[in-house]
Each structure stands twice: as structure tokens, then as C-alpha cells.
């Protein structure tokens, strides 16, 4: 028996001896709960919204956006800028007192270095197209890409010398052909191919953050097998990473949280409300909500629990315990895409190639009913793609409203009429309307939406549908290959211009999985791109959106997304402030340095 006790004791001692991977430091002044760890701190390769949100805390871009107002650009790392009259040349004047967290000055050269890095295919930045507006940038990317492919697959010798020679050639070519250069340490000049009305907005985007060249160079390695500049991801670890923003990451454990401390080097350090911020990733939605409700966090960045509708209903009913939940309008639209190609992937004729059929299906969906009965989380339904009210100067053109009678007429005009009285419409050849396949990714609410829409279409149009739920990677493969009839979709805008949505329906756009192509629409977008007068430009874009939302309908917009935050709103009657600094404006850009929880702490 003694051995049993020894084994048990040994097991327990070993368990405790191995100890804990992470020890909590002192509590931070502000604690954020998120549902994911950050994926990367390398701005060039960021894609996820919480990574980008962090990029606004640890880096400072050329400009910032007025996130509490109308998102106008305000000075960031650049204290001022001027734009040439043809809208092609931007000259940024950088702050003389801007410093990296190690004390080095932030210079125009650092921006050139960072942007060149984004433009190199080696870096594999997903947001590379943002820089394609810059003169020569697209050609440079294509050229370097060809060189690398030739190096990798060609018969030439693969050696360190040749890889280095290729890289030198690339840097030289960049300098000669790409319109980004530093006039001096504090003047950055950017030349564009065509005027881009929202270019300043792009300059505020996290991916275009500057990076500290010496740190990056110290971690780069040129592969003689592929010719690619590889980076050792270790450069982003606390202690090594050098940043130019309001905060410096001082602790980061894999899925174990991050600690941010205010950078004394930041030129605007007095503006920082919370000196320390703790980020706690909790992947399980329920656990993360319980963590907030037990006082572990000040702000929960994204509630996704299945009982969210009940939380919102309890809040609406005045439940004291649920006052922390907030629905915030986000800069995104939930929609279902039509396959607009003339034939389906399996060769069958595609009934949705006909705009009239698409209109009929769009008009037969009772969106309010979907939101009220199926979703139950209070989204605003929409008949257009660009979220109304989210972009200054853009008046939403409006789209097709719910009208089952009109939907039937549209279908009949497209030649689909119930000719034999069985309730299912047939075409002139007597063939019944094919069973509509609804493709979606499983594991979310899309199946409920698909079922409800199938019901509405059966009722209004007599059309049968079938649900096709696939695991998200398979669903995405099908989308890319155009193998679907209708597919669920979602889009969040990247910058404050209608084109961040409208480009999705442009002929040949990488994200135009619908295969939609309509010349008048493309023409209007092109005209808008050339138009220098902001008002006339918005006018053209409104007309373009009107074409897609009223006539062509390549997709059915259902609602604008909400994000759901948990935070203490304070108590005005009691004169107590809650969490301060969070904006509820639709683009949900949050700058961490503005966040404070003094009032919320006092209440606990």
C-alpha cells in the first residue's frame, strides 16, 4: 500500500513542481477580454480585426481617424500633409518628436522600408492591393514574383549569391519605379497612379504601420532554396519588438494573455488614459462572458454566446445585471450571394444568371422577420450593401424591399410561371424550377437563416430549396470555384469609402465569387475612380450601387452586422462614470490609449 501512496504523492508533487506556465502580474488599469489570442504582431501580415485593433495600440500610422466623429483623418505619425491639385502626390510631414520605443527617431525612411516590405511577395501580405494605388507598385510586385518563380522553378543555379543579387536588384527597382520615397528624414512623398479619394483613410490602416528597420533586418534570412526573404517570427516577442505607438507589449504568452504598458517614448504620452492594459483571450464564448460578469475584465470585445438574445431582451426589460451588454453597429453586411454565371459548375443552366430571377428571390425575403424571429439580436435590416450612414457624404440609394407579390411578378416576367398548376413554376419548355441549393459554412446560425429563407421562397414563389452545409474550409473552396447556386456571405469594410464594398461586384475582382459582370456598373466605378470632385464621385458611386441593389441584385443584403460589447456604461443618475473612451460609431475603431475604467473600478 505504501507504494500506492508514494505514487499518489509523487504524482501530486510532480504536478505542482512543474508549476505554472504563466504567473499573473499586478492587475492592469484596464483589462480587455477577447475571444482569440492575437495571431500576429507583424503589421504587414495582419488580417484579423483584433490584430488590426492591436496595431492601432502598438504602432502609429501616418494618420489616425476621428473615431468618435465622422472618421475624418487626423494627424498621427504625420503632423501635416499636402495633396497636389491633380490628387496624385501626397507629401507627409512627419513629427520631429516621434520616437520608437527604444528611443530611435521615427523617420520617413522607416515608412518606405515598411511599405516596401508589404509590397514584396516574400512577405505574403494579404492586404497588398491597398498599396497597388501607388505608382509602379503593382508592376513591382508582379516583377519580383516572376523573378522568384523563375528562381524556384527555373534551371538556373540556386545559391546564396544569386538570391542576394536578386534581392539587391529588387531594392534598386523599388527605388527607381515605385512612388514612395523619403525626401529627407521627416518628409515622405507618395505618388499614385490614379487619384484615390480615400488614400488618407488607407494610410490609417494597420497594415501600413511603420516597422523598425534594424529589428526586422536582424531577423531576416535570405533562403537560397526559394530566393525568398524569410523572417524569424521571434522579432515580435516582448523584449525584442520595437514599436512606435502608445503601448509596448511587455508580456505575451501563447493564448495566455498580453500586457501592454504605455510607451514613455510616444510623443503623445500625456494623452494615455490607462498606463497598463491587460488582454485576456478566452476562446469559450460562455466562459468569456462569465469572466466579465465576475469582474475579470472592463471591456469584452465580442460576445457570441448562444444566449445573447436573452441577454439583450433582459437588458431591454431593465434587468440591472444585464446593463453591461451593448449592441454596436459594425461596418459590415450579412448577405447571400447568387451565382451569376450562365451555367452552374456541373454544367446545368443557371436560373440565377437572369437578373429578374435574382430580383424575385431578393424581394421574397422578409428580412425583418429573420432578424426578429430567427436572429433575435437586434440587427438593422438593409436592402443595400454599403451600411447606410457609415460613410460621410454618401447617401444610400436604397434597394428592393420585401414584396412577395412583386417577387412573383418578377419571376413570371423572367419566364417562370406555374403552368401545370402543381405550385412549382416552370419555364417555357415546361421544365420546373430546379431545386435551389443553399451553401453555407456550418457551426453558426446560417442554417437557421437558410431554412427560414427556403420557407419564404416556397411560400412566395413555389420554389423548393435544399440546404448544403459545409465545413468552413470546404465552403470557401466551393466559393472560390463557383460551385454553388446561393451562398452565405459576409463583408466588413476595410476603409471609409463605398468602394470597399462596391469593388466586390466589379468584373474580375478577386472577391467577386459571384462571377457577376455588368458593364454599366464597371463603367460607373471607373468614372468614379477618375472623378476628382468628391461630391460628384459619391454621386457616381451611389448610381453604381443603385444598379446592383435595384436591378442586377448579385446578392441579397440581409442586415448590417452588430458587434456585442460588455462594459460598464456607468450610472448618470448616480454621477458615476463607467468605462470611458469606447466609441459606438459604426466602424468600431477603438484606440486603446483612450480607454479608461476609473469609474468602473470604483463601482466594484
Partner 1 sequence: MTGMIVSRLIQLPLVLLAIYTATFVLAWAIPGDAVAGDEDKLIDPAVLASIKARYALDDPARFYVEYLDGATGLRWARRSLAGEDAPGPVFDLGPSFTHADWTVNEILASSLGVSITLGLLAVGIALVIGLTAGVIGALRPGSAIDAITLVVALVGVSLPSFVNGTALLMVFPVWLGLGTVGGWGTFADLWLPAFTLSLPYAAYVARLTRLGMIDALRADHVRTARAKGCSAWRVVMKHALKNAFLPVLSYLGPACAFAMTGSFVVEKVFNVPGVGQHFVDAVLGKDLFVIMGVTLVFSALIVTLNLLVDVLYRVVDPRIE
- Binders in 254-313 for partner 1, by CB under 8 A: 254-256, 280, 282-284, 286-288, 290-291, 293-294, 296
Q: How far is the CB of 566 from partner 1 (least distance, A)?
A: 13
Q: Which stretch binds partner 1 (CB under 8 A): 74-82, 122-130, 365-373, 552-560?
A: 122-130
Q: Which stretch binds partner 1 (CB under 8 A): 189-197, 413-421, 460-468, 472-480?
A: 472-480
| Closest listed residue to residue 31, CA positions, set 272, 213, 268, 295 | 295
The C-alpha atoms of residue 269 and residue 262 are separated, in whole angstroms, by 7
Q: Which stretch binds partner 1 (CB under 8 A): 373-381, 400-408, 487-495, 523-531?
A: 487-495
176 contributes a contact to partner 1 by CB under 8 A: no
Nearest 5°: phi and psi at 552? -85, -35
Region of 29 please: left (phi>0), alpha (psi -120 to 50) or beta.
Answer: alpha
16 contributes a contact to partner 1 by CB under 8 A: yes
Nearest 5°: phi and psi at 127? -105, 30
7 contributes a contact to partner 1 by CB under 8 A: yes
Nearer to partner 1, 255 or 530 (CB): 255
Interface residue with partner 1 among 111, 385, 491, 559 (CB under 8 A) is: 491
CA angle 305, 590, 77 (to 5 degrees): 150
Nearest 5°: phi and psi at 207? -60, -25
3-state secondary structure of 574: coil
| Closest listed residue to residue 461, CA positions, set 364, 349, 356 | 364
Q: Helix/strand/coil (H, E, C) string of 406-469?
A: HHHHHHHHCCCECCCCCCCCECCCCCECCCEEEEEECCCCHHHHHHHHHHHHHHHHCCCEEEEE
Interface residue with partner 1 among 150, 233, 321, 532 (CB under 8 A) is: 233
471 contributes a contact to partner 1 by CB under 8 A: yes
Q: Could you tell me the three cell numbers for 403?
A: 414584396
What is the size of the binding site for partner 1 (CB under 8 A)?
A: 77
Residue 303: alpha-carbon gap to chain centroid: 17
142 contributes a contact to partner 1 by CB under 8 A: yes
Q: How far is the CB of 233 from partner 1 (least distance, A)?
A: 5
Q: Which stretch binds partner 1 (CB under 8 A): 35-43, 59-67, 351-359, 584-592?
A: 35-43
Q: How far is the CB of 11 from partner 1 (least distance, A)?
A: 5
Contact (CB, 8 A) for 347 and 575:
no
Interface residue with partner 1 among 160, 271, 474, 602 (CB under 8 A) is: 474
Contact (CB, 8 A) for 209 and 55:
yes
Q: Which stretch binds partner 1 (CB under 8 A): 36-44, 338-346, 396-404, 405-413?
A: 36-44
Burial class (CB in 10 A: 0-12, 13-18, 19+), 306: exposed
141 contributes a contact to partner 1 by CB under 8 A: yes
Q: How far is the CB of 250 from partner 1 (least distance, A)?
A: 16
Nearest 5°: phi and psi at 505? -110, 10
515 contributes a contact to partner 1 by CB under 8 A: no
Residues listed for the chain: 604
129 contributes a contact to partner 1 by CB under 8 A: yes
Q: How far is the CB of 356 from partner 1 (least distance, A)?
A: 28
477 contributes a contact to partner 1 by CB under 8 A: yes
Q: Which stretch binds partner 1 (CB under 8 A): 76-84, 138-146, 359-367, 542-550?
A: 138-146
Q: How far is the CB of 63 from partner 1 (least distance, A)?
A: 23
Q: Which stretch binds partner 1 (CB under 8 A): 45-53, 56-64, 94-102, 166-174?
A: 45-53
510 contributes a contact to partner 1 by CB under 8 A: yes
The C-alpha atoms of residue 322 and residue 319 are separated, in whole angstroms, by 6
Contact (CB, 8 A) for 72 and 590:
no
218 contributes a contact to partner 1 by CB under 8 A: no
194 contributes a contact to partner 1 by CB under 8 A: no
Interface residue with partner 1 among 27, 47, 159, 466 (CB under 8 A) is: 47
Interface residue with partner 1 among 128, 180, 203, 364 (CB under 8 A) is: 128
Q: Could you tell me the three cell numbers for 331?
A: 461596418
Amino acid at each position: 500500500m505504501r507504494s500506492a501512496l508514494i505514487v499518489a504523492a509523487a504524482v501530486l508533487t510532480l504536478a505542482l513542481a512543474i508549476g505554472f506556465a504563466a504567473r499573473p502580474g499586478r492587475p492592469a488599469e484596464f483589462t480587455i477580454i477577447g475571444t482569440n489570442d492575437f495571431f500576429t504582431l507583424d503589421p504587414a501580415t495582419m488580417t484579423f480585426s483584433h490584430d488590426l485593433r492591436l496595431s492601432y495600440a502598438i504602432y502609429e500610422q501616418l494618420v489616425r481617424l476621428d473615431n468618435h466623429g465622422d472618421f475624418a483623418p487626423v494627424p498621427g505619425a504625420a503632423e501635416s500633409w499636402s495633396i497636389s491639385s491633380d490628387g496624385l502626390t501626397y507629401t507627409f510631414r512627419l513629427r520631429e518628436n516621434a520616437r520608437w520605443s527604444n528611443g530611435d527617431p521615427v523617420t520617413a525612411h522607416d515608412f518606405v522600408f515598411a511599405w516596401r516590405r508589404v509590397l514584396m511577395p516574400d512577405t505574403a501580405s494579404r492586404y497588398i492591393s491597398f498599396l497597388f494605388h501607388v505608382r509602379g507598385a503593382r508592376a513591382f510586385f508582379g516583377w519580383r514574383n516572376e523573378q522568384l518563380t523563375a528562381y524556384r522553378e527555373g534551371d538556373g543555379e540556386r545559391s546564396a549569391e544569386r538570391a542576394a543579387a536578386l534581392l539587391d536588384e529588387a531594392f534598386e527597382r523599388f527605388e527607381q519605379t515605385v512612388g514612395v520615397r523619403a525626401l529627407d528624414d521627416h518628409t515622405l512623398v507618395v505618388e499614385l497612379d490614379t487619384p484615390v479619394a480615400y488614400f488618407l483613410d488607407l494610410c490609417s490602416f494597420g497594415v501600413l504601420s511603420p516597422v523598425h528597420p534594424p529589428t526586422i533586418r536582424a531577423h531576416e534570412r535570405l533562403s537560397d532554396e526559394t530566393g525568398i526573404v524569410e523572417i524569424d517570427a521571434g522579432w515580435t516577442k516582448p523584449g525584442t519588438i520595437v514599436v512606435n505607438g502608445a503601448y509596448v507589449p511587455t508580456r505575451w504568452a501563447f493564448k495566455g494573455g498580453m500586457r501592454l504598458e504605455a510607451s514613455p517614448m510616444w510623443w503623445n504620452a500625456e494623452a494615455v488614459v490607462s498606463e497598463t492594459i491587460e488582454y485576456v483571450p478566452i476562446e469559450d464564448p460562455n466562459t468569456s462572458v462569465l469572466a466579465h460578469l465576475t469582474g475579470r475584465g472592463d471591456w469584452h470585445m465580442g460576445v457570441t454566446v448562444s444566449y445573447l438574445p436573452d441577454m439583450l431582451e433582459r437588458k431591454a426589460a431593465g434587468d440591472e445585471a444585464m446593463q453591461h451588454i451593448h449592441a454596436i453597429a459594425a461596418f459590415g453586411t450579412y448577405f447571400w450571394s447568387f451565382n451569376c454565371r450562365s451555367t452552374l459548375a456541373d454544367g446545368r443552366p443557371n436560373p440565377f444568371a437572369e437578373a429578374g430571377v435574382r430580383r424575385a428571390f431578393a424581394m421574397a425575403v422578409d428580412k425583418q422577420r429573420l432578424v426578429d424571429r430567427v436572429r433575435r439580436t437586434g440587427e438593422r435590416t438593409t436592402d443595400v450593401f454599403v451600411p447606410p450612414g457609415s460613410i460621410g457624404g454618401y447617401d444610400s440609394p436604397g434597394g428592393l424591399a420585401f414584396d412577395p407579390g412583386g417577387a412573383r411578378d418578377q419571376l413570371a416576367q423572367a419566364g417562370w410561371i406555374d403552368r401545370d398548376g402543381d405550385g412549382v413554376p416552370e419555364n417555357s419548355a415546361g421544365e420546373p424550377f430546379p431545386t435551389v441549393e443553399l451553401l453555407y459554412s456550418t457551426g453558426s446560425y446560417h442554417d437557421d437563416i437558410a431554412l427560414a429563407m427556403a420557407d419564404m421562397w416556397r411560400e412566395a414563389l413555389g420554389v423548393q430549396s435544399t440546404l448544403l452545409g459545409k465545413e468552413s474550409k470546404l465552403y470557401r473552396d466551393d466559393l472560390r470555384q463557383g460551385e454553388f447556386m446561393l451562398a452565405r456571405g459576409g463583408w466588413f469594410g476595410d476603409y471609409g469609402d463605398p468602394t470597399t464594398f462596391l469593388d466586390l461586384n466589379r468584373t474580375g475582382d478577386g472577391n467577386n465569387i459571384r462571377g457577376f459582370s455588368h458593364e454599366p456598373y464597371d463603367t460607373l466605378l471607373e468614372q468614379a475612380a477618375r472623378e476628382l470632385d468628391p461630391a460628384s464621385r459619391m454621386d457616381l458611386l451611389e448610381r453604381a450601387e443603385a444598379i446592383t441593389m435595384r436591378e442586377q441584385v448579385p446578392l441579397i443584403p440581409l442586415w448590417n452586422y452588430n458587434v456585442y460589447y460588455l462594459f460598464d456604461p456607468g450610472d448618470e443618475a448616480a454621477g458615476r462614470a463607467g468605462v470611458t473612451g469606447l466609441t459606438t460609431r459604426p466602424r468600431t475603431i477603438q484606440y486603446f490609449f483612450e480607454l479608461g475604467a476609473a469609474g468602473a473600478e470604483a463601482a466594484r
